[in-house]
Structure 1
């Protein structure tokens, strides 16, 4: 009998041998099967990657890049189309936004500018015109020196603290005595000025026989701008002014009664 057939016959004759062979074959096979199970996932992943690579490999790299760029461009166009359907808010343009921001900043940082208002208490300077205001004279008649200056070449004004007081009487009488010299030239007018009432001025004028008008500036409409108002509450600093051709040419604040007469006369007769 050939050797192979003899081995098969022996195996069939002894069942235990057959069982041992079966167990051994399984024991040997078990590690191979386990290795196969463990290695299965990597094999599957490798296969997937191989498929992907195979798919890319089928096209040139240039074509693939062009397709990717086309897809990106398509997505951008789609996004722009969707945005264009939305209402455009005011100021979305770069220039509009800049203008809006600048306007808002200006509105916040810069307060609304108002037209300058003339300050009634501002002191006049040489070369300025007299305030365009009217005050009552000793007779209660309104007198506007600003208007008078347009027709009278030279105006002399002297201010005194209070009518009928000693120093003010000396000052007023000094201008009374020099009045002919002041008016020797045509176009010269002299005015006394204080915050007394028209009635007090009239009494003072009549008692001292003053030839010129006395102005009752009870609201300091002239005394304030001329700089003779002593304090915010009132009071007068003895002063004098000379106005020529509508402009203030001489302004002396704080002067003695007799000196005011002498210097004012010198200014008028200097020419």
Structure 2
């Protein structure tokens, strides 16, 4: 558990704050592309086909205990904090569903095996999805960054209503407050 604490306890004041580069400006009001992604629940999920309200939080990559983060990770604005981001959604999951979220998902470009390990390690009550092939990221022109030769999706959160993006949170900082911001938005915008 001590290794997990290194990923969860972060001094946000020592990290660069991401600026709004406009990378998500086009998302609010858009229909989600009909792209099926593999889920840690053992199925595939297409946000375009989900009914009801869906909360999707997107992150570059979660750390793995015993595996070094990419070189310079903390210096990349918005990179650090994926584990606290996921844990905050875990901790507020019941509140999010009580506020109208029929579905909650996390998504990154990590492999399904990496996502499954994260679900188990962090005891997440919702599935994680893998966009390792960047199919959704490309179809929706999601904001990305290149780190050590890998393309990763920048941190954001979306509220979807029946396949349409009702609201986009971007940039997200600090990550551990995003779930609370999403919850406040859900409570202020009931369906």
Stretch of structure 1 that moved more, 181-190 or 209-218: 181-190
Structure 1, unaligned stretches of length 5 or more? 1-121
What is the distance in 2 between the residues matched to 1:190 and 1:125? 18
User: What displacement does 1:259 show?
Assistant: 2.7
What is the distance in 2 between the residues matched to 1:252 and 1:185? 17
Correspondences of 1:15-54 after superposition (within 5 Å): none
User: What displacement does 1:186 show?
Assistant: 5.2
Answer yes or no: is 1:164 the counterpart of 2:82: no
Tell me the SS of whatever aligns to 2:153. coil
What is the distance in 2 between the residues matched to 1:242 and 1:250? 5
What is the distance in 2 between the residues matched to 1:164 and 1:144? 26
- Is 2:29–2:167's contact at 8 Å kept on the other side of the alignment? no
Q: Select the structure that is richer in helix.
A: 1
The Cα RMSD (Å) is 2.3
Structure 2, unaligned stretches of length 5 or more? 1-23, 65-79
- Is 2:99–2:183's contact at 8 Å kept on the other side of the alignment? no
- Tell me the TM-score normalized by structure 2: 0.69
Structure 1 match to 2:47? 145
Structure 2 match to 1:263? 181
Structure 1 match to 2:54? 155
Query: Which of these residues, 194, 202, 205, is aligned with residue 108 of structure 2?
Result: 194
Equivalent pairs, count? 147
Query: Which of these residues, 221, 229, 242, is aligned with residue 159 of structure 2?
Result: 242
User: What displacement does 1:140 show?
Assistant: 4.6
Stretch of structure 1 that moved more, 257-266 or 172-181: 257-266
What is the distance in 1 between the residues matched to 2:169 and 2:179? 12
Spell out, residue by residue over 1:162-205, the C-alpha distance to the aligned partner (whole angstroms, 9 max, x if none).
12366111110000000010111455211000001111000000
- Is 2:28–2:167's contact at 8 Å kept on the other side of the alignment? yes
Spell out, residue by residue over 1:226-245, the C-alpha distance to the aligned partner (whole angstroms, 9 max, x if none).
52322596122111111123
Tell me the SS of whatever aligns to 2:107. strand
Which structure has the larger Rg over C-alpha atoms? 1
Higher relative contact order (Cα pairs below 8 Å, separated by 6+ residues) = 2
What is the distance in 1 between the residues matched to 2:100 and 2:171? 29
Q: Select the structure that is richer in strand.
A: 2
What is the distance in 2 between the residues matched to 1:187 and 1:161? 23
Check 1:260–1:223 CA distance in 2 against 1; reply closer, same or farther (3 A cut): farther
Check 1:252–1:185 CA distance in 2 against 1; reply closer, same or farther (3 A cut): closer
Tell me the SS of whatever aligns to 1:235. strand
Query: Which of these residues, 21, 27, 32, is aligned with residue 125 of structure 1?
Result: 27
Structure 2 match to 1:210? 124
